[in-house]
Structure 1
Amino acid sequence: MLTSRFLETEGPDAQTRDKHCSSSRLGRRASGTPPPAASPVTYRSSRQTSGVRLTGELVCRNLDEVRLVAEYLPAHIRLTRAEPGCLAFNVTPTTNPLIWRVEEHFEDETVFRTHQERGASSEWGQMTAEIERRYSITGLSQ
């Protein structure tokens, strides 16, 4: 399930976590171009912000990938927001029905790396591994 509104969370408040979910995006346009050969991920060390922040986009090539996101994203959001040290995890559909804005904030590098490992080995990670991710990450030591 996806929402046409911002999926909001800040802090551990469970009532805020699964606030807005609907499947309003699936009937929209399904054309798109293939992603570039490699998904760019930018890593930057940052002393200006506390914790680790990931921002970027999840980019689907077609409606089949949109359906995978629609099916597996709600559980991934729920599990991520329940992780210790997750300060914020937001997924925002954009005006392009094939692209979502992703914003993550974790307490520290250890918590972030643990999240990345869990996500990659989860059903979400396995089912969406071929979907392009364009991320920028700040707050890592390397």
Structure 2
Amino acid sequence: MAAGALSALAALAHLGCIAFGAPWYRALGAGEPMARAAAAGHLYPASMALAIAAVLALWSLYALSAAGAVRRLPLLRTALCAITAVYLARGLVVAPVMAAFPGRSTAFWWWSSGICLAIGLVHLAGLIQAWPSLRRR
């Protein structure tokens, strides 16, 4: 349940960028070019934020499905393993990600990596806890 809630909060934060504009893009570390594009009314920032929010919302549903809060989703174990791996990898590979996406502050990369690592660890704990009940029925 906690992993689902954390992914849902991350999705809502990305929707907040769309709703509240450039200041939120800046606060969440999207970079100044993205914030300026949002302020100028370009569709790209909102499209990206919406796509990320949709993925995070789906990840939330998968975690909630494993917890029994929503119906069982297809490929549940596979999806949860992949989701957990993505969060953990994003949290652990700070330096390569920083190099691949220049233009954001070092503080942003450390904070966002820490958040992703924490969410990944919560997902991992939930996955381990729910694993026996995730067998195909």
Q: Structure 2-normalised TM-score? A: 0.28
Q: Which has the higher contact order (CA 8 A, sep 6+)?
A: 1
Q: Which is richer in helix?
A: 2
| Structure (1 or 2) with the larger CA radius of gyration | 2
Q: Which is richer in strand?
A: 1
Q: Structure 1-normalised TM-score? A: 0.27
